[in-house]
């Protein structure tokens, strides 16, 4: 599972919706409500050492709250068992961040606050300490000269299906899908509610992630088809609503032209914004599905050439959906067989 977690989880929580829900829902600290999530920025940096790059990944967000700049460091931990010195490892990453910050901000004389979070999705129960002093021998011996440090732990399997169902957001549904794979009925119920109140891009990322679970044998293809049907029904409703709004605004625009050129221009711009949003949604959905098909082909057969990737990008969303479902079926035995299926769509 390491390959899909390394890339998949980092991609999910690089989305601001996933990041916000993770912090707001699973970090019960009073200062969380003061974070300005709309202005948060993700840093393109990592402090994971080479030795641990196979089993963990990290994300760093710069946030603002109470007019103060701060950072949230999220360590994504994929190991099934946790080492006893985990607190030391996290402290090492935090210190590496501070050293990098000090060197890149020479005029600053103080280091910014940083909140360390470890997100754990292993099967085993987390039994190791989250505090540095708990793993030090006789920490009281040197008194105040003994360093102290703690990180905040989020372990997916600490939450029951009932707790996750009550939360009803993308992150809780992600946890439910991973820790309780047998509960497709509850997952479908969650998705029905969820896809109605979340943004299309985040929902598409979740669906793409779920397909990776299917590819790696962690979920059944039927489970994916159930969620995809719910997702497409929601997307169709969204598109229908957008089209209706466009038509209504067009009528208002035409009436407005009779009343004044300035009003007509403003309404025309509004229509343009709505159409732009619709095109953006469609492009985002197609990109996610194109990447899913490419990953499936690479996993089952071999990496694609640049030319083959470009050919896949020429397909429509409906054609990509059909190919994904065909690829899962056992009757496709060779890459040549499947590429012939793609060629039929291209000609």
Domains in the chain: boundaries? 2-158, 229-346
What's the whole-number mean pLDDT along residues 36-46?
Answer: 93
Taking CA atoms, 234 is separated from 29, 191, 197, 203, 293, in Å, by: 34, 10, 10, 10, 22
How far, in Å, CA of 27 to CA of 21, rounded?
A: 10
What tokens appear for 214 in the block? 């299917």
What confidence score (pLDDT) does residue 111 get?
95
123 burial type by CB count under 10 A (0-12 exposed, 13-18 middle, 19+ buried): exposed
What confidence score (pLDDT) does residue 52 get?
79
pLDDT in tens, 42-56: 999 989 888 777 778
pLDDT of 70 strictly over 90? yes
What confidence score (pLDDT) does residue 103 get?
95
pLDDT in tens, 248-298: 445 444 444 444 444 444 445 444 545 554 555 567 667 777 877 887 787
Average pLDDT along the chain: 79
What's the whole-number mean pLDDT along residues 300-310?
Answer: 84
How far, in Å, CA of 157 to CA of 77, rounded?
A: 13
* Stronger pLDDT, 22 or 54, i.e. the higher one: 22
**Under 8 Å between Cβ of 158 and 180:** no
pLDDT of 150 strictly over 90? yes
What confidence score (pLDDT) does residue 234 get?
60
332 CB contacts (<8 Å, ≥6 apart)? Answer: 326, 338, 341
What are the percentages of helix, strand and coil residues in the chain, rounded to 5? Answer: 65, 10, 25
What confidence score (pLDDT) does residue 288 get?
72
pLDDT of 2 strictly over 60? no
What confidence score (pLDDT) does residue 37 get?
94
Q: How confident is the model at residue 80 (pLDDT cuts 50, 70, 90)?
A: confident
What's the whole-number mean pLDDT along residues 224-242?
Answer: 60
Q: Are strands 114-120 and 152-155 parallel, antiparallel or unpaired?
A: parallel
pLDDT of 329 strictly over 70? no
H or E element: which one contains 24?
Answer: helix 16-26
């Amino acid at each position: 599972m390491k390959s899909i977690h390394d890339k998949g989880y980092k991609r999910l929580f690089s989305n601001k919706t996933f990041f916000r829900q993770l912090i707001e829902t699973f970090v019960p600290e009073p200062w969380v409500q003061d974070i300005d999530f709309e202005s948060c920025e993700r840093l393109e940096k990592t402090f994971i050492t080479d030795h641990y790059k196979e089993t963990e990944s990290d994300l760093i967000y710069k946030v603002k709250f109470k007019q103060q700049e701060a950072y949230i460091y999220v360590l994504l931990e994929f190991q099934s068992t946790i080492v006893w010195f985990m607190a030391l490892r996290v402290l090492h990453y935090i210190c590496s961040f501070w050293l990098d910050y000090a060197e890149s901000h020479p005029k600053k004389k103080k280091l910014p606050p940083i909140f360390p979070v470890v997100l754990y999705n292993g099967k085993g129960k987390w039994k190791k300490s989250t505090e540095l002093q708990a793993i030090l021998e006789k920490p009281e011996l040197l008194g105040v000269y003994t360093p102290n440090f703690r990180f905040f732990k989020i372990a997916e399997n600490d939450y029951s299906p009932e707790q996750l169902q009550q939360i009803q957001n993308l992150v809780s549904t992600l946890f439910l899908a991973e820790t309780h794979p047998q509960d497709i009925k509850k997952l479908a119920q969650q998705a029905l509610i969820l896809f109605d109140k979340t943004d299309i891009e985040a929902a598409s990322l979740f669906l793409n992630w779920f397909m990776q679970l299917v590819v790696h044998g962690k979920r059944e293809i039927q489970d994916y088809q159930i969620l995809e049907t719910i997702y497409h029904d929601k997307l169709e409703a969204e598109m229908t609503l957008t089209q209706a709004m466009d038509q209504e605004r067009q009528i208002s625009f035409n009436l407005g032209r009779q009343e004044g050129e300035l009003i007509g221009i403003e309404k025309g711009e509004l229509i343009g914004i709505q159409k732009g949003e619709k095109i953006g949604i469609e492009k985002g959905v197609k990109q996610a599905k194109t990447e899913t098909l490419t990953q499936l082909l690479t996993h089952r057969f071999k990496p694609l050439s640049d030319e083959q990737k470009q050919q896949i990008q020429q397909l429509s969303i409906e054609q990509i959906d059909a190919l994904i479902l065909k690829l899962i079926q056992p009757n496709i035995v060779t890459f040549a067989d499947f590429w012939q299926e793609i060629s039929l769509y291209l000609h």
